Amino acid sequence: MNEVTWVGVRERVLRVAEHPESDTVFGARGHGFRLGPVMSEEQLQALEADLGVGLPPQYRSFLLQVGAGGAGPDYGLMTPSSGDGGWQWRGIGLVFSAQPTTAEFAGRPFVPEALQGELNALDEQEPEEGAFATAEEFHHAQAAWNTRYEELYDAQEAGAVFLSEQGCGYTSLLVMTGPHQGAVWEDLRPMDRGIEPTGHDFAHWYRSWLERTEQRLGT
């Protein structure tokens, strides 16, 4: 989509913020319908240099025209910010925010489905105490298995940004690399469903939230 996607969107969000019942919208107490300032082209180029790849076009134009973060689906959007460790997405101004994502991590390949296959195979290989001659051997094998499981589990998030906290440990992710770039996925692992696609791009995801909010409040 081109930049017309975001014409008037910032103004619409700020208008919703003035509604007397805006705080009754789910997640509003997390972001307060506040939007951060828009980013400059120079800032985006610096972010992309750290990321190692161009930002998804819809998201890039959102940062330029609407805001860097704040008001959005669920508990609000994480914000790209630069610090001593480089660029990362942080929950600036959010009461309930997802974990930070570094640009380096988000720039890696996004392959959660392949890694899920490895995790499934690893599940079948979890050590059983009866298979070891001593408790020490079992604990050593169990520790090695746990380490590998955590590595694969964490690696599933690579190539994406923690975009928004949904609550109860669930998050929305924006894919930054590969053929799924620009798509919104959900981390549903707390309910043992893995990381799954929503079937929507960033523009649809955000604008649908705004339209539902306006309809609910009658704005």
Residue 34 falls inside a structural domain: yes
Residue 151 falls inside a structural domain: no
- The percent of residues above 70 in pLDDT, for the chain, comes to 98
Question: What's the alpha-carbon Rg for the chain, to the nearest Å?
Answer: 20
pTM, full prediction: 0.87
Look at residue 84 and tell me whether its pLDDT is greater than 90: no
Give start and end residues of each alpha helix (H) in 124-201.
Answer: 135-155
Q: Residue 71 gets which letter from DSSP?
A: S
Range of the structural domain that residue 69 is part of:
3-110+158-217
- The percent of residues above 90 in pLDDT, for the chain, comes to 68
Residue 206 falls inside a structural domain: yes
**pLDDT score for 108:** 94
Q: Count the domains in the chain.
A: 1
Q: 33: left (phi > 0), else alpha (psi -120 to 50), else beta?
A: left
Residue 74 falls inside a structural domain: yes
Residue 117 falls inside a structural domain: no
**pLDDT score for 100:** 93
pLDDT tier, 89 (very low <50, low <70, confident <90, very high otherwise): very high
Question: What are 66-81's pLDDT values in tens digits?
Answer: 999 999 999 999 999 9
Give start and end residues of each alpha helix (H) in 76-170.
Answer: 103-106, 112-123, 135-155
Residue 10 falls inside a structural domain: yes
Residue 135 falls inside a structural domain: no
For residues 192 and 206, the answer to whether their CB atoms sit within 8 Å is no
Which has more confidence, 5 or 91? 91
Mean pLDDT of the chain: 92
Which has more confidence, 174 or 111? 174
For residues 31 and 93, the answer to whether their CB atoms sit within 8 Å is yes
Look at residue 152 and tell me whether its pLDDT is greater than 60: yes
Look at residue 118 and tell me whether its pLDDT is greater than 90: no
**Burial call 119-136: b when 16+ CB within 10 Å, e when fewer:** beeeeeeebeeeeeeeee
For residue 29, what is the domain's CATH number? 3.40.1580.10
* Torsional sign, CA 186, 94, 160, 41: positive
Look at residue 153 and tell me whether its pLDDT is greater than 60: yes
Residue 208 falls inside a structural domain: yes
